[in-house]
Amino acid sequence: MSSDLIKHISDATFEAEVLQSDKPVLVDYWAEWCGPCKAIAPVLDAVAAEFNGQLVVAKMNVDDNRDVPARFGIRGIPTLMIFKGGDLAATKVGALNKAQLTDFIKSNL
């Protein structure tokens, strides 16, 4: 299962956990049935540890939460979004390997 460093967020907690966060937040939009979403999970655990203190890593299940994914136009999963200061800073769609995800994070911190 996922690391203790990864927050599981919902439509109800998105505002407080992501938009009001004092640190940048990487949100992984995923679903239980999504193979690439499962494949990226260990990579997210690794970057959550690597960037601990600099970045919050959060996951949102798109089957359980419809409002926020609709608000940001999520059409494919996994979709990764980085939010800074309450604003969407960057988006990537599809599973990334650790090097790709690390580069994505570093270029948007």
- What's the burial of 11, exposed, middle or buried (CB within 10 Å: 0-12/13-18/19+)? middle
d(CA 11, CA 19): 12
DSSP string, 60-108: EETTT--HHHHHTT--SSSEEEEEETTEEEEEEES---HHHHHHHHHTT
Residue 34 is a catalytic residue:
yes
Choose, from 6, 34, 80, 81, the residue flagged as catalytic. 34
Choose, from 37, 47, 80, 81, the residue flagged as catalytic. 37
The number of residues in the chain equals 109
* Residues with catalytic roles: 34, 37
